[in-house]
A and B are shown apart, each in its own frame.
Chain A
Amino acid sequence: MRANDTTQYIIEVNELTKQFGTFTAVDHISFNVKRGEIFGFLGANGAGKTTAMRMLCGLSYPTSGSGTVAGFDVVKEGEKIKRHIGYMSQRFSLYDDLTVMENMELFGGIYGVKSKPLRDRATSMLERLNFLGEKDTLVGSLPLGWKQKLAFVVATIHQPDIVFLDEPTGGVDPITRRQFWEMIYEASSQSTTIFVTTHYMDEAEYCHRVSMMVDGKIKALDSPQNLKRQFEATSMDEVFRTLARGAQRGD
C-alpha cells in the first residue's frame, strides 16, 4: 500500500500559494515532512493553516506552486491523495446516532477496506483501547475524550500513510490530551506520518519538528529544541510570541 517508498519525504511542498481574489491566504510556503514524523503545523487564527492543509488534502487547488503528498501531485492527483490520507477534524466529527462499530465500518468502508479485515481491525483497535465493551454504544452518548480517541481510530482505520489532525485536542482535559498524544506516538512508531495543527504551544514540544506560520508565510521551521535555542526562549510559547509579534492578520 505504501506509495513511493523510495523517497525520504512523504510531503514535499514548493512555493505553494493560494489567493482568494487579492487576498493571499498562503504565501509561497515550502517545506518537507519525513515519513513517520510528527509534524506540528502552528500559527495563529487566520494565518493560513487551514487553507494550506486543505490544499494538501486535495480539497482545494493551489493558485501556484507545487507539491506532492504520499507521492501524488497536489494539483493533478487530488483524488489519489485522498486514498492515502486520513483526516480528523477539530470537532471529532463522527455520527452521533450511529454506534461505535457502525462508525468504524462506515468510514473503513468508504476507504474500500473489505468487510472481514475491517471488522477484525476495528475489534483489535477497540481492544487495545479497552473499549470493546462499548462497540454497540451510540457515539452521541460517549464522553468527549472517548469521542476524540475514537475519531483518531476512525481516521487511521484504513492504515493511511499520513494522518492530518486539525486541532485534535480542543476542549479536552490535560490528562485526556496526554493520553491522546500517546496514541499519536504509537501511530508514528508504526511509520504513520502525523501532520497536526494545534493552538497549544506545550503540545508543540511533543512534535519532532514544528513550522510556525504568520500571515500566510512560514516564519520558522525546526525541531522544538533548535527553535528555542535559535530564539533564546525557554518555551515554545515564547518562540511563538516572538514570531507572531509582527503579525498583520488574525488575533
Chain B
Amino acid sequence: MRGFIKFVKKETLHILRDSRTMLIALLMPVVQILLFGFAISTEVNNVNVAVVVPKWSEDIRQSVNKLAANPYITYKGAIAEHDIDRFLRSGQADAIVFFAHDYDNIIQQWKTNAAGKPSMQFIMDASNTNVAQAGAGYLGNILAGELQQSANLVETHMLFNPQMKSAFNFVPGIMGMVFILICAILTSVSIVREKETGTMDVLLVSPVRPLSIILAKLVPYFALSCINLASILLLAHYMLEIPLTGNLGSIIIVSLVYLVLSLSLGLLVSTVAKTQVVALLVSAAVMLMPIVMLSGMMFPIENMPAVLQPVSAIVPARWYIEAMRKLMIQGAPFGLIMKDFIILVFMTLGLLAIALKNFKDKLQ
C-alpha cells in the first residue's frame, strides 16, 4: 500500500511538472464548452431576404414589416422580378419572397374556404442546405403563421429546449469526447512513455505488482477527469443555462462509469502500442473519429446509412451521450436511461477485463 501511494505521488508529479499537458487537459473542456456554446452554433442567424412585390397592398406591407422586424432575418428590401437571379447568385440574398399578383384575393379565399392557390413563393439559395432549410422554416413561420393559426392547422411546442439552442445538444457530446481524450489518450501515452524510456522494465523487475503500477497510473487521471466533470457541469449550468434539474446524482454516476470505461480503453491501447506516436494515432483513429462521426454527437444516428447504425452501437460514447442528453436536457429520471446505463456498465466490465488480461499476457 505504501508503495502504491508513492506511485500515485510519482504520477501526480509527472502530470504537475508537465504544465503544458495539464493546461491542455484542464482548459480544453472549458474552451470547447465556450466555443460550442457561443461561437460555433448550428443555429442559422441573419438570413438575407429580399422581397418581390408585383402589387403592394396593406396586407403585404404588414407581412414585409413583420419580416424586417424578425431578429433572424436581415431584410434586403424589395427588388424587381428580373433581379432575383442576380441577387441569389451574387449572395446578396439567401432567400427571395415572391408575393402573388392577386395576393389579397387569394388570402380572402383561404379565409373563407380554407383552400386555394399558393399566396407566395420562397426561392431559396440551397447551395448551403442548412441556411436554405432553416431559412424556409423561419419564413414559413413568420409569413404563414397567421394564416395557419387562423386555419387552426398545426400547433408546435418545442419542449426541453424551447429556444432551440444548439449548445444544449453539444454539451453531452463534448463530455463524451473530453473524457475519452483525457482518460484514454493521456493514460495510454503515459503508460507507453514508460515502455519507451525503459522505466517500465525497471518497474517490472521490481517487486511491485504490475497491476498496482497500472492502477496507480489511473488514479491521477481519474482525479483530473473529475475536476473536468465539475467544471463542465458548472459551465453548462451557469453559462449555458442548461437546467440540470433534480438529477445531478444520476449525471455524476453515469459519468463516473464512463470515466472508468475511458481509462480501460486507454489501458487497452497501451498494451497494443509500442511507442507514444502509435498510441496517439491508435487513440485518434479508433476512438476520436468514431465518437465524432458515429456517436450521434454531430450527426443524428437515425440519419446514418443502415450499415453504419449497428456500428454506432459499439461506440460507447453513443450511449453516454444519449444518456446525458436525456438526463441533462430532458431532466429524465434514472429509470429512463437504464438501458444506456446497463450497456455502459457491461462495456466497461468487458473492456476492463480485456485490457487487464492483455496486460498480463504481455508480461509473460
Contacts and interface: CB of A to CB of B under 8 A. Distances in A.
A97 B13 contact: yes
Contacts, number: 64
Interface residues on A, range: 20 to 34
B203 interface: yes
Contacts of B204: 59
Contacts of B3: 109-110, 112
Contacts of A79: 207
A223 interface: no
A185 interface: no
A66 to B, nearest CB: 19
Q: Is the interface of B mostly helix, strand, loop or mixed?
A: helix
B205 A95 contact: no
A64 to B, nearest CB: 16
B364 A61 contact: yes
B17 interface: yes
Interface stretch (A35-43, A81-89, A227-235): A81-89
A107 interface: yes
B153 to A, nearest CB: 68
A97 B18 contact: yes
A109 B207 contact: no
Contacts of B7: 106
Given A102-B13, A110-B207, A112-B207, A89 B6 contact: no
Interface string A39-69: 0000000000000000001111100000000
B364 A60 contact: yes
Contact of A59 (B14, B17, B18, B205): B205
Contacts of A110: 3, 6, 203, 206-208
A105 B5 CA distance: 12
Contacts of A82: 205-207
Contacts of B61: none
Contacts of A94: 199
A106 B6 contact: yes
Given A93-B199, A97-B18, A110-B3, A57 B10 contact: no
Nearest to B203: A110
B305 interface: no
Interface residues of B, number: 22
Contacts of B198: 89-91, 93
B197 interface: yes
Contacts of B17: 97
A98 B10 CA distance: 8
Given A98-B13, A109-B3, A93 B202 contact: yes
Nearest to A79: B207
A85 B197 contact: no
Contacts of A83: 207
Contacts of A61: 364
Contact of A91 (B2, B197, B203, B364): B197
B362 to A, nearest CB: 12
B201 interface: yes
Given A95-B10, A106-B6, A87 B202 contact: yes
Contacts of A107: 202, 206
A146 interface: no
Nearest to A86: B205
Nearest to A58: B205
Contacts of A93: 197-199, 201-202
B61 to A, nearest CB: 72
A146 to B, nearest CB: 17
B283 to A, nearest CB: 22
B14 A95 contact: yes
Given A79-B207, A106-B6, A109-B6, A89 B202 contact: yes
Contacts of A87: 201-202, 205-206
A111 interface: yes
Nearest to A60: B364
A80 B241 CA distance: 59
Contacts of A58: 205
Interface in A144-188: 164
Contacts of B203: 110
A111 B207 contact: yes
A87 B14 CA distance: 23
Contacts of B207: 79, 82-83, 110-112
Interface string A4-40: 0000000000000000000000000000000000000
A107 B199 CA distance: 11
A95 to B, nearest CB: 6
Nearest to B6: A109
Given A87-B205, A106-B10, A109-B6, 14 more contacts: A59-B363, A82-B206, A91-B197, A93-B198, A95-B14, A96-B197, A97-B17, A106-B6, A109-B3, A110-B3, A110-B207, A110-B208, A111-B206, A164-B205
Which 3 pairs of residues, A with B, have the shortest CB-CB distance? A93-B198, A87-B205, A91-B198
29 contacts: A57-B205, A58-B205, A59-B205, A59-B363, A61-B364, A82-B207, A87-B202, A87-B205, A88-B202, A89-B198, A89-B202, A90-B198, A93-B202, A96-B197, A97-B13, A97-B17, A97-B18, A98-B10, A98-B14, A102-B13, A105-B6, A106-B7, A107-B206, A109-B2, A110-B203, A110-B207, A110-B208, A111-B207, A164-B205
